[in-house]
A and B are shown apart, each in its own frame.
Chain A
Amino acid sequence: MTSIIGPASYKFFGVFPAALLSFILPIIGIGCFTYIMARRIAPLVRANPDNRFDHIGKRIQNLIVIWLGQMRQPRYMLAGVLHIVIFAGFLILSIRSVSLVIIGFSDGFVFPGLGGGLGLVYNFIKDYAATFVLIACIVAAVRRGIYKPKRYAVPEKYGKDHTAEAVFVLGIISTLMISESLFEATEAAFEFQKTGETHFLAPLTLVWIFRAMLSSVSPNVLQGLHIFFYYVHDLAFFFFLCFLPMGKHFHVITSIFNVFFMRVQKGNIKPVKYGIADDKLDDLTSFGVKKLEDFTWKHMLDFYSCADCGRCSDQCPANAVGRPLSPRFITIKARDLIFKNYPMSGEIYDSGKLLVQDIYTEDEIWSCTTCGACEEECPLGIEYIDKMVDLRRGMVDEGLVPQSLQKPMKALEKRGNPYGKMEKKRAEWAEDKEFSALCQVKDLDGETADTLYFVDSITSYDDNIQNIARKTSLILKKAGVDFGILGKLEKDSGNEVLRFGEEMLYQDLKSQNTEAILETGVKQIITSDPHAYNALKNDYKGLPPVKHISQVVAQKIRTGELDLKPCLNPEKVYVYHDPCYLGRHNGIYEDPRQALDAIEGLNRVELEKSRDRSFCCGGGGLMLFYEPEEETRMGVLRVNMAAEAGATVIVTACPFCLVNIQDAIKVAGKEGQMEALDFTELIEQHLV
């Protein structure tokens, strides 16, 4: 006998054909897996509808870039690289794993096309893949088990630590790699002993090392080991397959779907229920997410897909200031509840409690500023904002709204602004004597203009912020824009009303604004408030194009219609803080920077956390009225970051950022050392 006997021909104790075992194991394994998946899919079937079959091109692009390309992984370098190695290894080895299963009852099976030269190339690559995966697993296990990065810690209130599961899975993966390599190495060693020939093996791979180690082991033992490691691999493989849907490694299976179905539009909020038009909302008996099954199937899939990597919570500003919110556990707690309510056997369970009483707390759900940092980071495309909004819709429907938010909501209903100020005073900012001497603002309730300046509530009513409205007007005038305002016809844009779950109030504000805007016949809308910009652009329908003032300024500078003086304060160090609703939600990162850089001699530095990793100032709109429990304020952390970057002036382009950062400078005790400035104020100062 010159070649080793494979599992397909091997007979245990010389009589019992191993092929039978090779046949039964996959049947049991696939059977179990099918059953488990059927149980796991059950809640998705009962979930709310979700429209995820649009924008197919964009979805395929996401699949290539985010799933296959793993482009979000290196944002955390070490963990990202380890993951890319394991992920790539899995993809490469999946072919080998399947062919191994078949080899169990068909000796020497190779997939068509992998028989010749291509097969050799594949074997060469897969041997290195297995080796690198093993190394990555060891590094990852050491990192998780010994160094324990803070990101993975599970605070006591959120349940038990997940390290054991992570290390266990790394162990299984290592077992797969080692057994696969030994299965092959035993054959190579056997062949060498019988024939004296050594066929080529990729140097320094596991197989190469194992063959060297086994070179003097007797052929009988090699034969035994060959069969033994085949079944170790076979068992580990099917065990792993069935183990995946039991916890955080479910993402190995779901990630491809989750990324394909991930959010493709930015800045918008999902409808109350897909398939129900706005004017049919009254027919719904319940609003928002109150129980598990009220989530959409994609949101359920999100829960399954979470790999527990903790990047969302690491970026979450609410988590950073000690608010009772960690996005990671929004997902983990829901997944634990699905596993509990949909057990592997027996009846589906329902506690009959609202989710905000059962697994979440009301404060937890109100703590989110909807800044979007979590979603931007998630390598799996898991969503949070829509879930928060859906949970809030449910709370609003049940009347569970903190008193501090009830006041402004009622004022919005009665007066169209959260402060309860009178409608007729909405345009009073324009009557300032000094300002009106320089610039007369048209009221489009009567007059006409090409452009509408949508001011929104805080800029209209807050004495301190009204300056932004005046500076914006002066810039527009200088740039030759023919503009006017809605005056008392303008209502709050409702960006936060929608995001705080008061859907019907938002619908009212939206239809009043839409009607008033369309009535004016303007060709474009400009706003200085990113929250208003976002609502008008992404939530409203059928309006003329909307621009933020920073886009207008950057464009007018490019065309030469606006000229800026050299920097009036060249000794100051400026830093630009990206507002969430301008940056992350709408991708406007460069225009404000270009405008700032157009001021000659302006000394500008960058924050470490900038652009799509910008850190929320504390939130806008209704968030100003909410009283969260927190250890510090987001704005204070942000001001400290700016101080570290060496800045003395924080420039922002959002009225809420200005309010929060101005306050934070005082709280941080940096008054006199640092100042906050709105983009419009800086530009207006430098108008020629």
Chain B
Amino acid sequence: MEILVCVKRVPDTAENEFELNGAGNDLDRDDLVYSVNEWDNYAVEEAIQIVDKVGGNVTVITVGDSESEEVLRREMAMGANNGILLSDDAFEGSDGKGIAAILKAEIEKGKYDLILTGAQADEGAGQVGGMLAAMLDLPYASLVNKIEVGEGKIKVGREIEGGNQEMNEISLPCVLSIQTGINEPRYVGIRGIRKVAGVEIPVKSASDLGIAADSIGKAGAKTKRIDYFVPDLGAGAEMLEGSTDEIIAKLIEKLKAKGGL
């Protein structure tokens, strides 16, 4: 089975404390560390496990700048066979659709039975997989937490509310977005990455892919981030005082406002 996994280099939520820059319109990126999007890592592990069972190849692909090569290498150190970097100044500022369109252009040049993405990435939109599937006219399932490979079709479980699992049968080829917890991704150390340091990773530009520059990037983006703002964190807790009834009344009000009730 030929599997393509779309990955993204993102600021690591576990290892960063996000602060705004002096101007207050962007993150202070000086001290940020980046790594592969956690959901994508599960998707790559899943792809490797499928290939281990039924044979085939795993290709990892990303749209990003030259530094994104680092995450492709990390995924290749896990066991992905090939990496493709889609990189061009024209891609910068693309919205979800722009990214999906860039990926689509490359995917149409190959032949893949299964295309995986992470269920979401740093922006938390969870959009590229579904868009890509629609653009390619392939069936799609999101938040996949189980895959059973069959002949020409697969059975997938989707995570739905209440911890329940929705089972579907999907014909191949298809696009799936992978939820965390579907497997236990293997560890990749510095040594693993160094082992694949010499492997050639092809870099493709907009003209290689034959996409018009105005359909992607900032120009083509229909949804644009204007600025960042830090939600009010507050310094220390607001201490509720008074009689128990008063405290509870105040608390319930706050819980309602924050979606706790």
> Using a CB–CB distance below 8 Å, which chain A residues touch chain B?
281-282, 287, 396-403, 405-407, 409-411, 413-415, 420-424, 502-505, 508
Contact = CB atoms under 8 A, between A and B. Distances in A.
A501 to B, nearest CB: 9
Interface in B168-197: 184-192, 194
A128 to B, nearest CB: 61
A411 B17 CA distance: 13
20 contacts: A281-B191, A287-B191, A396-B187, A399-B186, A403-B184, A405-B187, A406-B185, A406-B187, A410-B14, A411-B14, A413-B189, A413-B190, A415-B15, A415-B33, A420-B15, A422-B17, A422-B31, A504-B189, A504-B191, A504-B194
Contacts of A411: 14-15
Interface in B10-39: 12, 14-17, 31, 33, 35
B192 to A, nearest CB: 7
Interface string B184-226: 1111111110100000000000000000000000000000000
Nearest to B13: A420
A461 to B, nearest CB: 12
A365 to B, nearest CB: 14
When A and B form their complex, which 7 residue pairs have the shortest distance between CB atoms, in order from nearest? Answer: A399-B186, A401-B187, A420-B15, A504-B190, A414-B33, A504-B191, A399-B187
B187 A282 contact: no
A190 to B, nearest CB: 75
Given A414-B33, A424-B31, A399 B14 contact: no
Given A403-B184, A414-B15, A282 B194 contact: yes
A502 B31 contact: no
B90 interface: no
Contact of A401 (B12, B35, B186, B191): B186
A502 B190 CA distance: 9
Contact of A502 (B78, B189, B194): B189
Given A411-B14, A414-B12, A508 B190 contact: yes
Most buried by A among B15, B31, B35: B15
B189 A409 contact: yes
B257 to A, nearest CB: 30
Given A282-B194, A414-B15, 7 more contacts: A397-B192, A402-B184, A406-B185, A407-B14, A420-B14, A421-B17, A504-B190
Contacts of A409: 187, 189
Given A424-B31, A504-B194, A400 B186 contact: yes
Contacts of A397: 189, 191-192
A343 to B, nearest CB: 32
Contacts of A502: 189
A396 B77 CA distance: 13
A424 B184 CA distance: 32
Contacts of B189: 396-397, 409, 413, 502, 504-505
B191 A414 contact: no
Contacts of B184: 402-403
B187 A400 contact: yes
Contacts of A398: 186
Contacts of B16: 420, 422
B230 to A, nearest CB: 16
A423 B15 CA distance: 10
A400 B17 CA distance: 29
Given A282-B194, A411-B14, A420-B14, A399 B33 contact: no
A414 B187 contact: no
A424 B28 CA distance: 14
Nearest to A502: B189
Contact of A399 (B12, B15, B192): B192
A491 to B, nearest CB: 14
A5 B191 CA distance: 74
Contacts of B186: 398-401
Contacts of B14: 407, 410-411, 420
A503 B192 CA distance: 12
